[in-house]
Structure 1
Amino acid sequence: MTQIKPADGDAMKTLTLLRHAKSGWDDAVPRDFDRPLNPKGRRAAQVIGRFLKTQGAAFDHVLASPALRVVETLVEVEYGYGRALAPAWDKRVYLASAATLLDLIRELPEAAGTALVVGHNPGLEDLVLDLVADGGDLRDAVEAKYPTAAVAVMTWDGGWADLRSGAATLEAFTRPRDLDATLGPDED
């Protein structure tokens, strides 16, 4: 676990990517879009919210998938964070590829210095791996697994439209189990 550092200077942007928390597969729902969180996922999202608060993380813009598991993740994150995040819901984030996510990020308001994108894998993981040059323990951890409710924080010089492959620095990658060992992988 590393600390989240805000971007320094006006020319630098900070992008935080949050994967939705663990959803329930036991619930009989007709569509994947409607899958809710399970109890462990709710707890993990609250832990991540508290972590974001202790790190002083702040977001000028929040973009999120409207899938139920993302909506519920944000409710729990807000509970731990202690305030509303006011996301812009965009169906294009639902199960988006890294390329689609990058297009959406490039459309973010230039006045926003920090943004949070809440969505799904494999798009989030693939986006981090594309934006961050090879090497480094944090990137290796993302490549090994970007688990549910994990947060990646990247910075780069320039605006949202300037974001390119290999241009970002991965400042932090935090998994729920880094904060609470009981939120680690389930044992089968």
Structure 2
Amino acid sequence: MKTLALFRHAKSDWSDARARDFDRPLNLRGQRGALAMGQHIRSTGRRFDRMIASPAVRVAETIETSSKAWGRSFPVEWDRRIYLASSAVLMDLLREIAGDPKSVLMVGHNPGLEDLIFDLVPDDGSSPLRDVVVQKFPTATYAVMELAIDRWADLEEGCARLVELKRPRDLDPELGPELPD
């Protein structure tokens, strides 16, 4: 059994129209969301043997901010392939993990992370949280899956069960979508 957690970067700043997508930092709401999710992860007591992440600025800032709240930091393996990757690329990357750690935290982007959940978690009713992901996998969302595999190289579609899903709005309603007047 392996554990895979996915953490989508927090809300990014779009105020500089000239900035490259890769270089966009977090906005204030994103900083608050990353902080809240870091506190949540700390409250679960969950630990990870390895963290792999996209090197995009908004991902790096999400990790930095949430780690402060989490009260834990450890080396990040930066992998540019995660940046805007498809589910297929993410699955290949996971299959390549050396050393067969028991638990991995991947921090990255949509639609890849969301699609990875759809590919790994069967749509058979065994993971009711999957229906929440169908609605939306917003920024700063954190998901944990248990994988019925012994080695990362054995990763295949339908091998997971979604056991936790936490969105920023679940922790603080002000971090949810902006409501119309």
Question: Within 2, Cα distance between the matches of 1:82 and 1:108?
Answer: 26
Q: 1:83, CA displacement in angstroms?
A: 1.7
Q: CA deviation at 1:73?
A: 0.4
Q: Does residue 146 of the first structure (1) align with residue 146 of the second (2)?
A: no
Structure 1 residue identity aligned to 2:33: A
The alignment partner of 2:75 has SS state of: coil
Partners of 2:160 and 2:43 lie apart in 1 by 24
1:99 maps to which residue? 88
* Number of matched pairs: 177
Aligned to 2:157: 165
Equivalent in the alignment of 1:124: 113
Map of 1:70 onto structure 2: 59
Q: Deviations over 1:43-74 (max 9, x none)?
A: 11011111111101111110000000000000
RMSD: 1.1
Give the deviation of 1:181 after TM superposition.
Answer: 1.1
Which residue is 2:147 aligned to?
Answer: 156
For 1:42, which of 31, 39, 54 is the aligned residue?
Answer: 31
Instruction: Name 2:45's counterpart in structure 1.
Output: 56
Unaligned runs of 5+ in 2: none
Would the aligned equivalents of 1:29 and 1:35 in 2 still touch at CA under 8 Å?
Answer: no
Matches of 1:107 and 1:26 in 2, distance apart?
37
- The offset of 1:30, in angstroms, is 3.0
Unaligned runs of 5+ in 1: 1-11
29-38 vs 70-79, which moves further? 29-38
1:8-47 equivalences in 2 (<5 Å)? 12-47=1-36
Q: SS state of the match for residue 83, structure 1?
A: coil
> Contact conserved, 1:21 with 1:149, CA < 8 A, in 2?
yes
Instruction: Report Cα offsets for 1:83-142 as digits up to 9, x if no partner.
Output: 213210111110000000001111112331100000000000000001001034200001
**3-state DSSP of counterpart to 2:140:** coil
Amino acid at match of 1:167: C
